[in-house]
Amino acid sequence: MNFTRVYAIVLRHIFLTMHQLERFADMFLFPIFGLLLWGFVSVYIGLNSAGLAAFLMGGMILWVVFERVSTAVGVDFMFDIWEQNLMNVLASPITILEYIGGLVVVAIVKVVVSFLVMLAIAGIFYNFHITTLGVSLVLLWFNLVLFATVLGIFNIAIILRWGHTVGPLTWILPFFLQPFTAVFYPVDILPNVLQKIAWFLPITHVFEGMRFAMTSGKFDSEEFFTGLFFNLVYFVFTVLFFAYMFNLVKRKGTLVKL
Amino acid sequence: MSKNNVPVLEVKNLVKKFKNFVAVDNISFSIEEGEILGFLGPNGAGKSTTINCFLGVIKPDGGEIKIFGKGLIKNRSEIMQKVNYCSAEYHMPWNLSVYESLLVYSTLYQVGSAKKRILELLELFDVSDLRNKRIRELSFGQRARVSIAKSLLNHPRLLLLDEPMASMDPDVVDRGIRLIKKIQKEEKISILYTSHNMWEIEQVADKVVFINHGKVIAQGTPLELTQQELKLEAKEPNLREVFIHLSRRSLKEGIEGKGNPSTSLRVKS
Ligand SMILES: Nc1ncnc2c1ncn2[C@@H]1O[C@H](COP(=O)(O)OP(=O)(O)OP(=O)(O)O)[C@@H](O)[C@H]1O
Ligand SMILES: [Mg+2]
């Protein structure tokens, strides 16, 4: 792993973000408007149940972390295809690991900015402070970002293979998962079959863990490790899947035709 | 002088198939230190595919590629540190300015004193005044010049140029050729040069490898090839005639023999 080359990818996206207004929108507008919407829903619900209101706000904020990271990894990759620049990057000494590493770093940096904006808005307008979760929050983040990365790598793999016609999956896939991941409600609400599906998704355990921490003030290590376990399993499978696809497109000669 | 006279690039029996279609068929050649090799052939002959194998972005089905005496597969990152590539087909990042995009590539190649090197190359290719323009605002030829500047950022020892000047006007091509020759002399770069402009090749190439249907069908200096393929007493190289001669010859052989002539122009001769 050569960190200068990873930094080159970060630099490329710093410049891109400075020039592209919509890249800024990704970072600020989506989180702000999302939070405003759920903020008011929470205020309304909070009239009856302060606890439930907090669940909704917390769920919303953590969901954005997951959704933004996974989408950014795929979309930033597609920028190199759209700008017909991928071939020049691949011809350089960079390894595919460094390249994807760079994309993940960019996604995390961007989501930290979004997160801080959301913290400020939630704190100022709704008097909601997710930071009271303390260390738990860091561990919840860890599982969120890891699964988002897994999804991002999966997306890059299928784009490598089927081109950017499958690109939209990058921003659709997180929302396909959303109903099962118990972002805004406890898993118990789901029908039995769906609960089983939910259990296999690492971030379900993040949102369950968040609600537990909010009500009890304690960290649910069982939820954390269950999430982490599935994360690691998916991570290994996705990396293998990616390696297979990357090898395949080099053999088929389609990598240079993206 | 290269260490123990190891060729800068050595390829042996390279084979690449796309399903049943053989795009590169048992190609072997080498490039010595400081040599410019013209890599010629009709459309679809397999030139870009071969170059992409050298870059490690296409995986060959057979054969061996050694660059600086080292196996490409195992030492790709280390080798590419001293190799660079330019093709008119691909671009620098569209939304970045000329300077920014070159800065990104300087970082990728870990170029020391990047700023100085970038300004030097922009000056050399006469695009200094465009440094703050976005790549997408540039004309085709200007973009190509920026791409060539990029390919020299890391002081490469081996330069792979796949039709680098495809969209430049004759004046710029002329200047480009002079520059490439100058830099090549000063920095002792070895170059693999692909172009359909025979004048360009005559100007730069020490040696020519001619391929068709993925096979090497002739090689030598431009003058040798002219004498060999056209007339023995020729004093000046005439690669244009050689090109036409060789393409049509292999077309005929393709029709009569087992080759696949579909990629050559069908011309009655
Ligand atoms: N990914 C691919 N899948 C199938 N066939 C391919 C693929 N890439 C190239 N080919 C075929 O391989 C042959 C060689 O292509 P290549 O691009 O190497 O030609 P070339 O010599 O560079 O031609 P040109 O002068 O037109 O650039 C062509 O017939 C092309 O259609
Ligand atoms: Mg080509």
What is the average pLDDT score of chain A?
93
**Strands B158-162, B62-67: parallel, antiparallel or unpaired by DSSP?**
unpaired
Instruction: Check pLDDT > 70 for residue B3.
Output: no
Pairing mode, if any, of strands B62-67 and B70-71? antiparallel
pLDDT, mean over chain B = 89
A-chain residue closest to B151, CA distance: A88
The answer on pLDDT for B120 being more than 90 is yes
Domain count, chain A: 1
pLDDT at B247 over 90: no
Nearest-angstrom CA–CA distance, A12 and B101: 7
* Two tokens, residue A144: 């969120």
Residue whose token pair is 């959704």? A67
Asked if the model's pLDDT at residue B54 lies above 60, the reply is yes
Range of the structural domain that residue A135 is part of: 3-257
Out of B57, B84, B96, name the one closest to residue A255 (CB): B57
Which of B160, B149, B148 has the alpha carbon at shortest distance from B50? B160
A53, A43 Cβ separation under 8 angstroms? yes
- List Cα–Cα distances, A214 to A52, A134, A225, B137, B251, in angstroms: 10, 11, 18, 52, 77
Question: Touching check for A252 and chain B: CB below 8 Å?
Answer: yes
Mean of the pLDDT values across residues A174-191?
Answer: 93
- Residue A198 vs residues A184, A222, B141: alpha-carbon distances, Å: 13, 16, 55
Across residues A114-127, what is the average pLDDT? 91
Residue pair A206/A140 in contact by the 8 Å Cβ criterion: yes
pLDDT at residue B39, rounded to an integer: 96
Tell me which amino acid residue A51 is. Answer: G
d(CA B107, CA B118): 11
Q: Which of A133-142, A223-232, B44-53, B250-259 has the lowest mean pLDDT?
A: B250-259
How far is A156 from A4, CA to CA, in rounded Å?
22
The answer to whether the CB of A249 falls within 8 A of the CB of A160 is yes
Smallest CA–CA separation between A30 and chain B, in Å?
22
Secondary structure (3-state) at B69 = coil
Question: Out of A8, A82, A88, whose CB is closest to B90?
Answer: A88
State the nearest Cα–Cα gap between A34 and chain B, in angstroms.
Answer: 28
Contact A118, A31 (CB under 8 A): yes
Task: Give residue B203's pLDDT.
Answer: 86
Taking alpha carbons only, the member of A165, A213, A163 closest to residue A62 is A213
Percentage of chain A with pLDDT > 90?
77
Tokens found for residue B244 = 């036409």
What band does B15 get if pLDDT is binned at 50, 70 and 90?
Answer: very high
Task: Single out the residue of A108, A104, A105 nearest to residue A238, CA to CA.
Answer: A104
Instruction: Report the distance separating Cα A4 and Cα B108, nearest Å.
Output: 7
Its ipTM equals 0.91
| pLDDT score recorded for residue B255 | 52
The 10s digit of each residue's pLDDT in A34-62 is: 888 888 888 888 877 878 888 999 999 99
How far, in whole angstroms, is CA A70 from its chain's centroid?
4
B93·A85 Cβ contact <8 A: yes
